[in-house]
Structure 1
Amino acid sequence: MDLPFVVATLTRRGLLTPGRPVRIASQLNALRTWGWSLAGELRQAAARDPGRPAVLDEHGTQLTYQELLDRAERLARALRAALGVQPGDRIGVLCRNHHGLIETIVAATLLGADAVLVNTGLSAAQLAAVAEEQRLRVLVHDDEFAELVLGVPAELHRVDERAHAELIAGALPGELRPPEHDGRIIVLTSGTTGTPKGARRPTPNGFGPLVSIIDRIPLHVRNTVLIAAPIFHTWGYAALQMSFALRATIVLHRRFEPAATLAALATHSCDALFAVPVMLQRLLEVPPPDPRPPLKVVAVSGSALPGGLAPAFMDVYGDVLYNLYGSTEVSWASIAGPADLRAAPTTAGRPPHGTRLQIVDDRGDPVSGGRVGRIFVGNEMLFEGYTSGATRETRDGLLDTGDLGRLNADGLLFVDGRADDMIVSGGENVFPSEVEDLLARLPQVREAAVIGVPDPEYGQRLAAFLALHPGEALDPEAVREYVRHYLARFSVPRDVIYVKYLPRNATGKVLTRELRRYYG
């Protein structure tokens, strides 16, 4: 990434403002010594702004950057002394969004251990499989998961919230030095179709990744940021990384609740909200506060924006919405800003600076003219492979996202869905996401999902699952006629099934395996 662009972006976002020389020197020394890991980012923030509030939660806990660093260092020393954690070990983190989760991840990186971020929506069987496959030495978990963790291997050290507090309180003095082995953050894939895989995230080696994002999403130094997206997810973790880099004040709630989130945004005068798309839908279902929260940025990622959601949200909260398309494996691929989403509400936007994106056919040849193909992405934060040793297909330094998409004449990316979600019905290729976007625009529909199911005549057919707003009704034939009016006949769902709600994982993605159970 070229230096003038980096300097200009950092200046624009307030990161190169003057300060006390001693603190600036300490800040730079922290990055030089500890690098760009989460521990290094926290150290540089504590060096520059030690008394600034770092974390606020719904229970009234408030920690400054220096206090947060002190607690993470005490935890790291205690994990090493009491539980024998060494560089290269793996620490599982099964926590909702609160300061204890952050302290544990930082403590792991201080020790050179891998932090495995565990999805809070896993079943007991999935958790046991993850603990074994990832060879966890320690599992730090919230008290609410006490029964869930009973099935993990007996030799695994389990640390609940009380034990977590006791480790910090009882830590002996000592020095922590940068470990020879750099710990990695391991994020689990969504697991919407099976057991989640562990993906090793690289450690940034400079300002490049931060600059790529904040150039397009206008976050500033010392913002106040509410992270509603789960931090165990790639998007929530990225929000934490950016917040540390910007020395932001982070507001956290263990669970997302629309009214409480809106109240917190107003109470803390939040500049930014990090969320997943389904959270925006829930925010629109409760009356907006008066006055509106002073938001300048609402940044979402993790799943596709349903048709109509972007303009509906911006009509209420202003043109502050930014949609990042990416994945655990490729980090980011493209970003859509408010103007993009006004013009094309379902677009994934354009690649940010330093990112390459290509649409290719099954032979690997580039396609153009708005034709659909496989999406390949290249940037400096591509994952290092799955912990199982598997990886993804690469072409000329670009990684396969597993998604299908197309570029329009203006260079905007549109994602048609997972390559394995496309169905062939009567010889025609059908993308369920196109039908989902259309159904989501019906005023009676709260949320919609469309999947392919076996059909003896056509090979496969579409089944639409609809959750309606309270008190609403919708005739199945009216649904089919509506789709028939706008799309080709092979896109019309043969089956229309009404459900109370769509099954989703903790990051808001629809669990298609649960929907397929309707068919045995």
Structure 2
Amino acid sequence: MDLLFIVRTLARRGLLKPGSPNRVADQLNALRRWGFTLAGELRAAEARDPHRIAIIDEHRGPITYRQLMRRAQRLATALGATRGVGPGVRVGLMCRNHAGLVEAMVACSLLGADAVLVNTALSAPQLAAVAEQQQLRLLLHDREFAPTAAAAACERLDESSVEALLAETPQQRRHEVNRAGRTIVLTSGTTGAPKGARRPTPKGFGPLVSIIDRIPLHVGERILISAPLFHTWGYAALQLALAMRATVVLQRRFEPTATVQAVDTHGCTALFAVPVMLQRLVEAGAVPARPPRITAVSGSALPGGLATLFMNAWGDCLYNLYGSTEASWASIATPADLRRDHRTAGRPPHGTRIAILDPTGRPVARGEIGEIHVGNEMLFEGYTRGPGDPSAADLRGGLLGTGDLGHLDADGLLHVDGRADDMVVSGGENVFPRPLEELLAQLPQVREVAVVGVPDAQYGQRLAAYLVLHPGQTLDADEVREYVRHYLARFSVPRDVHFLPELPRTATGKVIPRLLHPM
């Protein structure tokens, strides 16, 4: 990445503001030793602004960068001395958004251990499979997950046990190594068991600059992270926050009224969320007295029209990042992009390449649909199945296929048309569920919708629509089909129309197709 671009962006966002020479030196030394890991970013932030509030935890209150660093060091000492956690050991973390999870992630990094971020929605059998596959030595979990955690064939510590361990650990002892640990994020598992994807460590300021150039975060922001920290997007938000020496506000559960109250009470200037959370905020009519400058979302597609509805209520503050656990980011849509076309995924940030390729690997013409391929500094290192090197990522000319189909419009904006394995071949026609979902979402009676392909004896496959209606609203299948006939081709008209009380979703709002069942 161009050095001048990096310097200019860092200066624009306040990261090159002069400070105490000693503190600046300590900050740079921390990054030099630990790199751009969570431990390195936290050490650097503590060196520069030790008394700045790092986290506002809804139960523990405000925690400074120095306090957060010292708690993480003590936890590292305790886990290393009493549980044998060290380089290469895998530690599972099954926690909601709170300071204890951050401390545990940093402690693992300080010990050279790999932190495996576990989805809090996993069932006991799924957790047992993850623990075996990832060869977990230890599982740290919130108290509420004790029944599920019992399925993991490894040692387990809940919040109370961790606090007792910290109380027994002398403040002055430190148990650290020179090799920072890695972070493993589990894929969403919408079509099967979740897999572990090992996140790379940024090699410099390039990845940070790529994001803050397009999403205008400044040093010292107050950021409410509502997206789950165990997910790539929530984890990325935490990395950005530590790098920007921000104050992070955390709540264990998302609820629209509580979210708005947190924004107002703590003066949050940024909100990181997933699209389904915005939908709940719009439905609840929840708007802060002073909305944040930045609301950044990722993790799943924005439902039809939601971007416009949200910005009409909260102002033009919405940034939508399209990416995946494996590719990190591919493109970012700014408020201006979303006002131009609410369906767009935006443009690739600086240092990122996008190619739309056909099945033979050749670029398709502008406007044609192909598989989206991405290249950037943060492509995942491969899937993991226990300690050791991960399987290599499957690259094509340095680009990673996302598994999504999309196209570039005349203005160069990326549009995601759906998953490659979601495409339905009905009577020889290639049909994509996304346009039908977008159309049905515009019906005033419809709260949310999912469209999938199902087997058909005559045509091979056909579309099936699953709708959730707003309370008190009515709609029947024939009305839905007649509405679709007015706007789409006949092969897009769903023969099957089902009404559900809710759609099965992951913690980040992705619909789980295998769990869709008609009433």
Whole-Å Cα distance in 2 between the matches of residues 209 and 92 of structure 1?
A: 26
Whole-Å Cα distance in 2 between the matches of residues 373 and 84 of structure 1?
A: 49
Whole-Å Cα distance in 1 between the matches of residues 438 and 392 of structure 2?
A: 31
The equivalent of 1:381 in structure 2 is 378
2:428 maps to amino acid: G
The equivalent of 2:144 in structure 1 is 144
1:185-334 map, 5 Å: 185-289=183-287, 292-334=289-331
Whole-Å Cα distance in 1 between the matches of residues 393 and 378 of structure 2?
A: 14
Q: Secondary structure at the match of 1:215?
A: helix
1:37 maps to amino acid: T
Q: CA deviation at 1:392?
A: 4.6
The equivalent of 2:506 in structure 1 is 505
Q: Secondary structure at the match of 1:91?
A: strand
Q: CA deviation at 1:177?
A: 4.2
Whole-Å Cα distance in 2 between the matches of residues 390 and 293 of structure 1?
A: 47
Deviations 1:390-449 (A, max 9, x none): 455311100111111000111000001111111111111111111111111111111000
The equivalent of 1:360 in structure 2 is 357
2:91 maps to amino acid: I
Q: Is contact 1:34-1:178 (8 Å) kept?
A: no
Q: Secondary structure at the match of 1:377?
A: strand
1:402 maps to amino acid: G
With 194-203 and 171-180 compared, the bigger mean Cα shift is at 171-180
Deviations 1:167-192 (A, max 9, x none): 22221332344434x42100000011
Unmatched runs of 5 consecutive residues or more in structure 2: none
Whole-Å Cα distance in 1 between the matches of residues 175 and 136 of structure 2?
A: 22
The equivalent of 2:113 in structure 1 is 113
Q: Residue 336 in 1 paired to residue 325 in 2?
A: no
Q: Is contact 2:451-2:465 (8 Å) kept?
A: yes
Deviations 1:48-104 (A, max 9, x none): 111111111222522100000000000000000010111000010000000000000
Q: Secondary structure at the match of 1:218?
A: coil
Whole-Å Cα distance in 2 between the matches of residues 243 and 444 of structure 1?
A: 39
Whole-Å Cα distance in 2 between the matches of residues 21 and 178 of structure 1?
A: 27
Whole-Å Cα distance in 2 between the matches of residues 398 and 221 of structure 1?
A: 32
Q: Residue 465 in 1 paired to residue 462 in 2?
A: no
Q: Is contact 1:93-1:116 (8 Å) kept?
A: yes
Whole-Å Cα distance in 2 between the matches of residues 149 and 367 of structure 1?
A: 48
1:174 maps to amino acid: R
Whole-Å Cα distance in 1 between the matches of residues 290 and 231 of structure 2?
A: 25
1:443-458 map, 5 Å: 443-458=444-459
Deviations 1:368-400 (A, max 9, x none): 120000111000000000004545531110011
1:509 maps to amino acid: K
Whole-Å Cα distance in 2 between the matches of residues 177 and 96 of structure 1?
A: 26
Q: Residue 164 in 1 paired to residue 162 in 2?
A: yes
Q: Kindly, what percent of the aligned residue pairs are identical?
A: 66
Q: Secondary structure at the match of 1:6?
A: helix
2:304 maps to amino acid: G
Q: CA deviation at 1:485?
A: 1.2
Q: Is contact 1:374-1:419 (8 Å) kept?
A: yes
Whole-Å Cα distance in 2 between the matches of residues 177 and 319 of structure 1?
A: 45
Whole-Å Cα distance in 2 between the matches of residues 288 and 89 of structure 1?
A: 44
Whole-Å Cα distance in 2 between the matches of residues 283 and 475 of structure 1?
A: 27
Q: Residue 429 in 1 paired to residue 427 in 2?
A: no
Q: Secondary structure at the match of 2:74?
A: helix
Q: Is contact 1:302-1:326 (8 Å) kept?
A: yes
Q: Residue 175 in 1 paired to residue 174 in 2?
A: yes
- Root-mean-square deviation (CA, aligned residues, Å) is 1.2
Q: Secondary structure at the match of 2:422?
A: coil
- TM-score when normalising by structure 1: 0.97
Whole-Å Cα distance in 2 between the matches of residues 263 and 38 of structure 1?
A: 29
The equivalent of 2:398 in structure 1 is 397
Distance 1:177 1:58, change over 3 A: closer
Q: CA deviation at 1:193?
A: 1.1
Whole-Å Cα distance in 1 between the matches of residues 42 and 486 of structure 2?
A: 55
The equivalent of 1:351 in structure 2 is 348
Q: Residue 372 in 1 paired to residue 373 in 2?
A: no
Q: Is contact 1:262-1:293 (8 Å) kept?
A: no
Whole-Å Cα distance in 1 between the matches of residues 319 and 355 of structure 2?
A: 22
Whole-Å Cα distance in 2 between the matches of residues 463 and 313 of structure 1?
A: 28
Whole-Å Cα distance in 1 between the matches of residues 302 and 267 of structure 2?
A: 26
Q: Is contact 2:95-2:142 (8 Å) kept?
A: yes
Q: CA deviation at 1:227?
A: 0.1
Q: Is contact 2:207-2:378 (8 Å) kept?
A: yes
Q: CA deviation at 1:20?
A: 1.4
Deviations 1:279-327 (A, max 9, x none): 00000112334x6333100000000111100010000000000000000
Q: Secondary structure at the match of 1:481?
A: helix
Whole-Å Cα distance in 1 between the matches of residues 266 and 335 of structure 2?
A: 24
The equivalent of 1:23 in structure 2 is 23
1:428 maps to amino acid: E
Q: Is contact 1:87-1:179 (8 Å) kept?
A: no
Whole-Å Cα distance in 2 between the matches of residues 97 and 433 of structure 1?
A: 31
Q: How many residues align?
A: 514
Q: Secondary structure at the match of 1:486?
A: coil
Q: Is contact 1:276-1:301 (8 Å) kept?
A: yes
Q: Is contact 2:227-2:508 (8 Å) kept?
A: yes
Unmatched runs of 5 consecutive residues or more in structure 1: none
1:171 maps to amino acid: T
